[in-house]
Amino acid sequence: MLSTVDIQRLRPVWDRVIVAHRRYTKANGDALAGALTYAMLVGIAPAVVLTSMGLGVFGTSNGAIARELHRAADVLLPDDVVAAVDKVHPVAVPVRLTLLVALVWTSLRLVRAARTGIRAMCGQNAGSGNPILDAGRDLVLGVALVLVVGVLVVATAAWGLPAGVPAVWLLFAGAMLRGSWPGPGRPTVAAALRASFVAALLVALLTLAARYYFHGTEKLHRDVYQAAGALVGVLVWASLACRILLRATAWASTAGGEQ
């Protein structure tokens, strides 16, 4: 039984939970997480191809890029998601100017969906009102995202599971701090690191649970969903991961008691 003193001690934590939840719901967090999930599915493969093309300029072979990507995926993602990643080969897409434009555009859509969700959780406007300026900022964020993800993929592939949680932790913290506008609503560095660490642990637990889920429902997927079964599971996993990120951002952004 909780005493009155224990309840009083827990009250500030409960108040924080309510404030962060109100921020999440007021900003339509579920809808934004759905949009981010869709953008991930559409934009990740082009982002991989663009990264491989950029690294190829510096003499990195496509085979080396694929090996690092697949090793990192084995650590960070559920098995069925890894199988989908294994099918992505940078050499499979011919390099053409029109295709390059399409790849850049879809990758920027992923960046835009992510920063829109982050800014909404911080109680900020999605854009500045100047579409050209916003596109330029998205491009800078996109380049930074590619560089950071590249470093994290290599680190995760090299050191395995011990690097997995820190990789997601730093990625989430960077998304919170660089995806939001400077000024009111942006989380402090300490708040972002705390919330991102908890979020990274939750994503790791989600990944472990997803592996058991895919294994336990393999027959159901085969009999009911057939080829679409794995895709349904991947969609659910990605959607929950996006919700974890946005809820963690709402928590970090309201650390000062903002509504």
The model's pLDDT over 148-182, given as tens digits with 9 standing for 90+, comes to: 776 776 666 666 656 678 888 888 898 898 888 88
Short-list 175, 194, 199, CA closest to 186: 175
Distances in whole angstroms, Cα of residue 209 to Cα of each of 21, 222, 233, 256? 24, 19, 11, 33
The answer to which of 78-82, 87-91, 190-194 has the lowest mean pLDDT is: 87-91
- Asked if residue 23 is part of any domain, the answer here is no
DSSP three-state, residue 168? helix
Q: What is the pTM of this model?
A: 0.68
Top pLDDT among 96 and 164 is at 164
71-80, 99-108, 154-163, 187-196: which has the highest mean pLDDT? Answer: 187-196
- Asked if residue 12 is part of any domain, the answer here is no
Contacts made by residues 139-143, CB under 8 angstroms, sequence distance 24+: 139/108, 141/111, 141/115, 141/178, 141/179, 142/107, 142/108, 142/110, 142/111
- Asked if residue 79 is part of any domain, the answer here is yes
Structural domain containing residue 151: 28-253
- Which pLDDT value is given to residue 192? 92
For the chain, the C-alpha Rg in angstroms (whole number) is 19
- Asked if residue 211 is part of any domain, the answer here is yes
Q: Where are the alpha helices (DSSP H) in the chain?
A: 4-26, 29-57, 62-76, 79-86, 97-121, 131-159, 161-179, 189-216, 218-220, 228-253
- Which pLDDT value is given to residue 39? 78
CA distance 198 to 195: 5
- Asked if residue 22 is part of any domain, the answer here is no
Mean pLDDT of 80-99: 55
- Which pLDDT value is given to residue 104? 72
- Asked if residue 174 is part of any domain, the answer here is yes
- Asked if residue 134 is part of any domain, the answer here is yes
Among residues of the chain, what percentage have pLDDT more than 90? Answer: 9
Number of domains in the chain: 1
Q: Torsion-angle region of residue 145: left (phi > 0), alpha (psi -120 to 50) or beta?
A: alpha
Burial, 251: exposed, middle or buried (Cβ in 10 Å; 0-12, 13-18, 19+)?
buried
What are 105's two structure tokens?
A: 């555009």
CA distance 190 to 178: 14
- Asked if residue 89 is part of any domain, the answer here is yes
pLDDT greater than 70 at residue 252 = yes
